[in-house]
Amino acid sequence: MNSQQTIKNLHDLEFDNQFTREMPADPETENFRRQVSQACYSRVIPTKVSQPQLVSYSKEVADLLDLSTAAVESAEFAEVFAGNQVLEGMDPFAMCYGGHQFGNWAGQLGDGRAINLGEVRNQKGEHWTLQLKGAGPTPYSRTADGLAVLRSSVREFLCSEAMYHLGVPTTRALSLVLTGEQVLRDMFYDGNPEHEPGAVVCRVAPSFLRFGNYQIFASRGEIEPLHKLVDYTIRTDFPELGEPGREVYLRWFEEVCRRTADMIIHWMRVGFVHGVMNTDNMSILGLTIDYGPYGWLEDYDPNWTPNTTDAAGRRYRFGNQPQIALWNLVQLANAIFPLIEDAEPLQKSLDEYVDGFEQGFQQMMAEKLGFSSLQRDTDLPLIEELQQVLQLVETDMTIFFRRLALLKAECEPASDAAELLAPLMDAYYDPAKLTGDVRTKITDWLERYLNRLREEQASDAVRRERMNRVNPKYVLRNYLAQLAIDKAAEGDFSLVNELLELLRRPYDEQPEQEEYAGKRPEWARNRPGCSMLSCSS
């Protein structure tokens, strides 16, 4: 921060609540479950809790809001960000949206356990919406309680910040606060509910609008509020596109397609599986949103889904994410169709998504492999075959790519397969399986890859440096998050904070933290929370 900026305490925060000021509100202000029509949101106050306690916060997000360390560490901060106190200037509300869940239209969903507090305008003039997740029921809570437990809140808090530092577009997380309440959850949906500590995460994003916010109006034939919402979105979050009108609507949809493709390419780069890509979990800004039963690929398996609810159909498996994003964009196109009344230009943007994704994906893979530019003739087959090579035996995706940078193209070719494979051995879950045909296929690929590297101008050292900027050393491995949760459940938050710190520099070597860069330990292979996650949160 430069010296001209003042550091603020909570009461100095400046709120400029454009959304509630400009968008149609639900006239009902009582907090009971209902269908809400012709409105973008309902005003609702967070539920008071007994004992707010700050567990962790993100320094970078506090900086975005110009908040001082003293402000964040004050007792009042925990009160505000657990939902006990509404600051002057805040205007709390829950948004109305619908969505397709697992491919089926689910009608009205809405912020069932998220309450937007207001929009902070920081000193740079940026708008940041503060949103509490787990701060009590809203008109959109349907049959649920509006609360969140510590387990899922730790996961959301850590992963949002880890993704940001990896360079993946995402909503942010300011704080993780324990509420002091106990929350009943049936974690495995097996009829054995247990009490778990309640928690609230404060999420931060320029906007939390989802595809489902537009879909709900279209599904009800409420074209006027749809129109208003699209115009608002363009004016506030896409001002560079120009004044809203038919042409600008089309450019906007094209831009949403482009941003969505960009986000998915990043997910594929780092091995992130969202787990619940329903249209209500797709941000209009192309941000990763709603960290639920997400997971990180350990062994490279494009068919893997972390979500137990998705286990049968595997709709949201790693390798299917690009197609699902397209399916979701088609639903968004359908929703805004009434403003355009011509399918052709919308289809054109969808086609551009397909092409743009393909090209972006290939470019991203070329960067992961350390090529300074993509030479289609040689590189596309290499990239294609690598997908197969990674699946021959259980291969840790993150370690494999990181270690690939250690191969030497400058030296004499390796004298045998063992020497060639040596830098990569850490990536294999069962090195004993590297025999026969499997071994030959992997080493053949490596030899072709090395030949390709020899055409590069850059030295090994320069290439390694470049590769290390796109192939992270540290990701939020599923079992690491679970270890942090296990400790947190006993009141020890040290690992939450240690992982938060570790994941601020995911591309750097951190020799003292080497243990967190290793393969998933065997005990975690089938442990719930480490390899299988339910939606219960």
Spell 248-261 as b/e; 16+ CB within 10 A means b. bbbbbbbbbbbbbb
Q: Which does 215 bind (CB under 5 to 8 A by kind): ligand AMP, Mg ion, none?
A: none
**107 annotated ligand binder:** no
Instruction: With CA atoms as reference, report the closest residue to 294 among 170, 428, 112.
Output: 170
Indicate the pairing of strand 114-121 with strand 98-101. unpaired
Residues 26, 111, 231, 280: which is the catalytic one? 280
Are 14 and 88 in contact, with CB atoms under 8 Å apart? Answer: no
Instruction: With CA atoms as reference, report the closest residue to 296 among 98, 516, 32.
Output: 516
Q: Minimum distance between the CB of residue 395 and ligand AMP, rounded to whole angstroms?
A: 31
**203 annotated ligand binder:** yes
d(CA 467, CA 20): 45
Residue 314, CA distances (Å) to 21, 106, 284, 324 in order: 41, 19, 24, 11
Q: Minimum distance between the CB of residue 212 and Mg ion, rounded to whole angstroms?
A: 9
**290 annotated ligand binder:** yes
Instruction: With CA atoms as reference, report the closest residue to 22 among 185, 244, 241.
Output: 244
Tally of CA atoms within 13 A in the half-sphere of 92 that contains its CB: 27
280 in active site: yes
For 312, counting Cβ atoms within 10 Å of its Cβ (0-12 exposed, 13-18 middle, 19+ buried), the class is: exposed
Binding to ligand AMP in span 123-182, by CB under 6 A: 140-141, 144-147
**281 annotated ligand binder:** yes
CB-based closest residue to Mg ion: 290
Decide whether 103 or 491 has the Cβ nearer to Mg ion: 103
Q: Per CB under 6 A, which region of 19-27, 111-119, 155-163, 240-248 contacts ligand AMP?
A: 111-119
d(CA 100, CA 339): 21
- Show the site string, 260-279: x = touches ligand AMP by CB under 6 A, - = not: ----------------x-x-
Decide whether 281 or 471 has the Cβ nearer to Mg ion: 281
CB-based closest residue to ligand AMP: 112
Q: Which does 304 bind (CB under 5 to 8 A by kind): ligand AMP, Mg ion, none?
A: none
Among 46, 198, 225, 292, binds ligand AMP (CB under 6 A): 292
Among 24, 112, 345, 423, binds ligand AMP (CB under 6 A): 112
Decide whether 76 or 145 has the Cβ nearer to ligand AMP: 145
Decide whether 134 or 360 has the Cβ nearer to ligand AMP: 134
**125 annotated ligand binder:** no
Helix, strand, coil shares, percent, the chain, to 5: 45, 15, 40
CB within 8 A of 220, min separation 6: which ones? 37
**Local structure of 417: helix, strand or coil:** helix
d(CA 504, CA 57): 13
d(CA 418, CA 159): 37
Q: Does 98 bind ligand AMP (CB under 6 A)?
A: no
Q: Which does 113 bind (CB under 5 to 8 A by kind): Mg ion, ligand AMP, none?
A: ligand AMP
- Strands of 220-320 (E only): list them: 272-273, 295-296
Binding to ligand AMP in span 6-45, by CB under 6 A: none
Q: Which does 464 bind (CB under 5 to 8 A by kind): Mg ion, ligand AMP, none?
A: none
**Residue 221: other Cβ atoms inside 10 A:** 8
d(CA 473, CA 397): 11
d(CA 178, CA 181): 8
**112 annotated ligand binder:** yes
Among 8, 113, 477, 519, binds ligand AMP (CB under 6 A): 113
Binding to Mg ion in span 231-290, by CB under 5 A: 281, 290
Q: Minimum distance between the CB of residue 281 and Mg ion, rounded to whole angstroms?
A: 5
Q: Which does 144 bind (CB under 5 to 8 A by kind): ligand AMP, Mg ion, none?
A: ligand AMP
**Local structure of 180: helix, strand or coil:** strand
Among 171, 281, 308, 349, binds ligand AMP (CB under 6 A): 281
**145 annotated ligand binder:** yes
The span from the first CA to the last CA of the chain, in angstroms, equals: 36
Q: List interacting residues with Mg ion (CB under 5 A).
A: 281, 290
List binding-site positions: 110, 112-113, 133, 145-146, 203, 210, 281, 290
List binding-site positions for Mg(2+): 281, 290
Q: List interacting residues with ligand AMP (CB under 6 A).
A: 109-113, 140-141, 144-147, 276, 278, 280-281, 290, 292
Catalytic residues: 280
List binding-site positions for ATP: 110, 112-113, 133, 145-146, 203, 210, 290
